[in-house]
Amino acid sequence: MATTRLLLTFAIYRLIVTVGLTVEPTELLRLGVDGQLSVDPADMETASLDFGMMSRTEPLAVFHPASAEDIARLIRAAYGSARGFTVSARGHGHSINGQAQATKGLVIEMSGLRGRQLGSGKPALPRVSEEESYVDVWGGELWIDVLRATLEHGLAPKSWTDYLYLSVGGTLSNAGISGQAFNHGPQISNVYELDVVTGKGELLTCSEEQNSALFHAVLGGLGQFGIITRARIPLEPSPQRVRWIRALYSNFSAFTKDQEFLISLHAHPAAQKFDYVEGFVIVDDGLINNWRSSFFSPRNPVKITSFNANGGVLYCLEVTKNYDDSSATRIDQEIEALLEKLDFIPTSVFTTDLPYLDFLDRVHKNELKLRSKGLWDVPHPWLNLFVPKSSISDFDKGVFKGILGNKTSGPILIYPMNRDKWDQRTSVVTPDEDVFYLVAFLRSALDNGDETQTLEYLTQQNRRILKFCEDAGIKMKQYLPHHTAQQDWVDHFGDKWDRFYHKKLEFDPRRILATGQRIFNPSFTTQLAFSW
């Protein structure tokens, strides 16, 4: 404890000398934490950036907690401070527009390793209950580590994200979606219980039955009401292998009709449906591979010029079937029965087979390849939209066959989900239709001399896509939303805004949490004034 206090004193001294501190030093010294407050340049640089690499803002310091109580003590200090300071939780830093940053505040490093090196009181490792089929995990745990821990017991969570190097608290603060969402709902629909530190520094357990208002507010709440320190996630028996299938379409109506048919089977027995349904758009003459997966062998490339693209655009349906030794003999028959009901280009079916873990972790393998080429740590002007089913054809004509031209610089995902799998009591907003599509433009900006791949060009193209939706009356919602004016946030939340606003007053009355989202101003300073 003496060593921790000495480090804390040194960090506060550095803060005063180098950047000035907007909180009395004695308030932080009284924390009595087991974690570490750091102003190490490497920590500060990490906390000032995110995956988007489009904004940079340096915090006052970075806090490495050793326990949930550490976080509670820190936030109580912020809440009770006369001068005040903001606090943001940072998981793996996969936000796009600086949502986890804290200008002149403290960043809590939830997924760092240092907290686990501090001895007693360290954040707990995943704890699996085989009897009750759930796992308790630290809020900063990465999903890949959750998966590895549960697979040791022959179990796995039901709902995933495409990329597993994301923190549990991070995805639950947004929604957490992938191709399983049509069947199981998003990750926020697959949570039994949470431990949350509110903006008043209260460490509360919440669930459907206990502190339910906080439970539903935090799920999809963009970090506005509290920091998730523990989540209890339901599990199911894990399959051993995955049959992974892709098929191409040149007709958009046939493509969406088949996708919508496949997600309508969610209530059918497992043998009569796929376990995962996604898709993507191919708008240029490139390989059907993309950085999300190594589906095709480099020795057997597939180009879209092999097929007749309607208007230069092809659509790829992506489905999987999970199986193990007991079901291996009938997997081909089950797949054939489903595929014969679909209207894809007959010669375009491609199939591969791999272990369950390898399928779920498919993006990371390609991340390593891109890192080796210096193509990962680049700006990512991503745009993620929920588009209602009734407007998806107009979106195709105006965006895929219009605004994009025949150029893209990253995957474009498109797949439908069933709205009744989303709990409307959570903070997430979706289009008000039974079926809506995720359309995700996952682009990378490159400085390679091609104007269409520059950050400026892609950012402007995103604005054109949003303007097109507005002009066409497409009532879409942003997923992983980014707005800079409060009226835009009011419009985003729609009927949920009043509830969202009053829950903010209840659980974070000084508005110190997650100011990087740019939804609310802190109550104690005009230093961070936004555009309203």
Which are the catalytic amino acids? 94, 162, 278
- The angle, 0 to 180 degrees and rounded to 10, between the axes of the packed helices 497-507 and 486-493 is 110
User: In which element (H, E) is residue 383 found?
Assistant: strand 383-388
| 398 CB-near residues (< 8 Å, 6+ apart) | 468, 472
Beta-carbon contacts of residue 433 (< 8 Å; ≥ 6 apart)? 388, 389, 390, 419
CA pair distance 458, 441, nearest whole angstrom: 10
114: left (phi over 0), alpha (psi -120 to 50) or beta: alpha
Cα torsion 113, 116, 119, 121 to 10°: value is 140
- Residue 511 sits at the vertex; the CA angle it makes with 508 and 513, to the nearest 5 degrees, is 80
Query: What backbone phi and psi angles, to 5 degrees, belong to 42?
Result: -65, -40
Size (the chain), residues: 532
Integer Cα distance of 358 and 295 in angstroms: 12
Supply φ then ψ for residue 44, to 5 degrees.
-65, -40
Pairing mode, strands 61-64 and 106-109: parallel
CA–CA distance from 229 to each of 66, 70, 140, 320 (Å)?
11, 11, 7, 33
The C-alpha angle 226, 231, 235, rounded to 5 degrees, equals: 155
How far, in Å, CA of 271 to CA of 338, rounded?
A: 10
> Which tokens go with 107?
């960043």
Tokens of 491: 């419009």
Q: How far apart are CA 101 and CA 50, in angstroms?
A: 8
Distance in angstroms (rounded) separating the CA atoms of residues 58 and 44: 6
Residues 6 or more apart whose Cβ sits within 8 Å of residue 363 = 162, 163, 164, 291, 292, 293
> Is 518 in contact with 530 (CB distance < 8 Å)?
yes
Torsions phi, psi for 57 (to 5 deg): -145, 130
136 backbone φψ class: left, alpha, beta (φ>0; ψ -120 to 50): beta
Distance CA 138, CA 127 (A): 10
